[in-house]
Amino acid sequence: MGCYVSKLCSCCCAAGHGRLLHDPENAGNLGAENEGVPSFQVFSIDQLRTATSGFSVENIVSEHGEKAPNVVYKGKLENQRHIAVKRFNRSAWPDARQFMEEAKTVGQLRNHWLANLLGCCSEGEERLLVAEYMPNDTLAKHLFHWETQPMRWAMRLRVALYLALALEYCTGKGRDLYHDLNAYRVLFDDEGNPRLSCFGLMKNSRDGKSYSTNLAFTPPEYLRTGRVTPESVIYSFGTLLLDLLSGKHIPPSHALDLIRDRNIQMLTDSCLEGQFSIDDGTELVRLASRCLQYEPRERPSPKILVSALIPLQRETEVPSHVLMGIPHVSEALPLTPLGEACLRKDLTAMHEILEKLGYKDDEGAATELSFQMWTNQMQETLDSKKKGDAAFRHKDFTAAIECYSQFIDVGTMVSPTVLARRSLSHLMSSMPKEALDDTVQAQVISPMWHVASYLQAAALFAMERDNEAQIALREGTVLEGKKA
C-alpha cells in the first residue's frame, strides 16, 4: 500500500496542508493541529449582527430552505475573516449553560478535514455558532445541482477519503457522534478541498432530534430508538458513498436491492463513463454496502474506511481546485478602475469615480426621499445632503463630513452612497478609523455593494493592515464582477 500513500502525500501537499501522510495508520492525525485557525471564543450578538449585516437575507447560505430548523449566514469579522454563523431556533437550546458546554467541547477540535468551530454566542434567548466560512458550496450543489461540469471520479474518491479522515480524527478526540451526516454537511474551502462541517458535531437541539432529512435515509436503529450512535454515523457515510457513486440521492434500501441483483450500472452516474475501472466501482459499492449493514456492529470503523479508501485514490498530484474546475484563491483577478485606485491608494482617482457614480446604486432611495420632502424636517435633511454633495464635489472634505453627518444622524433615511462619500472624506482628512466605520455601516445597508468593500480596503491600507486590505479588495472585485 506504500505507493498509494506516497501519492496521497503529494495530494495533501498540493492541497496546501503542508504535512506528509506517511502511513494509513497515522492518517487521522494529519493536520490535527490547524495552526491558521484562532482559538475558540465567545462572541457578542452585536458583533455577529454587524458581521452578517444585521442577519441580512442576502447573507443566508443554508440550502435547506424553509425546512431547516436553523439558519446559516455568511459574515465577516472586523479582522476580515469570513465566517459562517448558525442561528438556532429560539426554542432549541433553553439551557444556556448546556449550550455553552457543548459548543466549547466541539470548539476544541482543530483539523484540516473540518470546517472548524471558531466560537459561539449565548445572549438572552439567542444561541449561535460561528465557524470557518467555506466559499465553494456544498457537496449537494456539486453532485446534484451542478451547472458547468459534473464532479470527476477522482474528486469523488478524494471527498470520500477526506470525510473518512475527518470522522477518524473526531472519533480519536472522543467526538464519534455526528448528527445527520449528508451531502449538505460537506463543504469546499478556498482550495477546493472538502471539509466536514463542525455544525453536525453538535446536536440541533437539547433533545437531540438529529435527522432533518427524509427518514428513508436514516439508519434503521434510529427509527427504533430515536438515538444516534457511532454506527449510525457510518450508515450515513454509506449513503454519502452512494451519492458520490450515483450523483443522485438514492434510498439505501433501493440501492441494496440493486447491489443484490448485481445491477451496479443502475447505481453509477452516467456522467462518469470511462473515468474509472470496474474494479474501482465494485470496491466502492462493496464499501457502501458494508456501511449500510442492518446490524450496526457489522459496519466498519472510520479507521477501516480510511484504509479501504486510500488505495482507490486517483490523480493524487492534481490539486482539488483543478479537479473541481473552480478558480484558485491565489489567481489574481483583473482589477477595475476603482480597484486599481484602491490598490494604488489614489484617493483623488477614487473621488472622481465616486463623483461619476452618483447615487445610482442607492436602490429605492430617490423615490423614498421624494415622498418625504413635504415635511420641514425632511427638507432640512435633504438640504444637508445637497450641501454635502456640493462640498464633496468641490473637495471641501471637512464641510462634506459635517453635512453628511447631519443627514446620517437624523436617521430617517438611509443611503449607502452618503456613507461611502463620508468614508472617502474621512480618508482625505486622515481619519481612517472613522472611514472604516462608515464602510461597515454601508455594508450593513447593502451587503453586496462592491463600493463598500473597495472603500474598506482603502481604509485598511491607510491603517497599514495590508493583509486585511487585500482580502477586502478581492471581495470588492468579486462583487463587482457578479454585478456585471
Residues marked as catalytic: 180
Helix axes 153-172, 302-309, angle to 10 degrees: 150
Task: State the Cα–Cα distance between residues 417 and 356, nearest whole angstrom.
Answer: 12
Task: State the Cα–Cα distance between residues 355 and 115, nearest whole angstrom.
Answer: 42
Q: Which residues does 418 contact at the CB level (< 8 Å), separation at least 6?
A: 385, 388, 404, 407, 408
Q: Do residues 284 and 275 lie in contact, with contact meaning Cβ atoms separated by under 8 Å?
A: no
Burial-class residue 265 by CB neighbours within 10 Å (0-12, 13-18, 19+). exposed
Question: Could you tell me if residue 17 is left (phi over 0), alpha (psi between -120 and 50 degrees) or otherwise beta?
Answer: alpha
Buried b (16+ CB within 10 A) or exposed e, 281-296: bebbbebbbbbbbeee
Task: State the Cα–Cα distance between residues 4 and 27, nearest whole angstrom.
Answer: 13
- Lookup: cell for 200: 453536525
3-state SS of 353-399?
HHHHHCCCCCCCHHHHHHHCCCCHHHHHHHHHHHHHHHHHHCCCHHH
Q: Do residues 315 and 154 lie in contact, with contact meaning Cβ atoms separated by under 8 Å?
A: yes
Rounding to the nearest 10 degrees, give the CA dihedral for residues 399, 405, 410, 416.
120
- For residue 347, the surrounding DSSP H or E stretch is helix 347-357
- Lookup: cell for 85: 454563523
Burial-class residue 371 by CB neighbours within 10 Å (0-12, 13-18, 19+). exposed
- Lookup: cell for 98: 448546556
Question: Which strands sit side by side in the sheet containing 117-123, from one edge to the other?
Answer: 41-42, 117-123, 126-132, 82-87, 71-76
Q: Which residues does 373 contact at the CB level (< 8 Å), separation at least 6?
A: 379, 382
Beta bridge mates, 195: 187
- Lookup: cell for 181: 451526516
Q: Which residues does 256 contact at the CB level (< 8 Å), separation at least 6?
A: 289, 292
- Lookup: cell for 279: 474494479
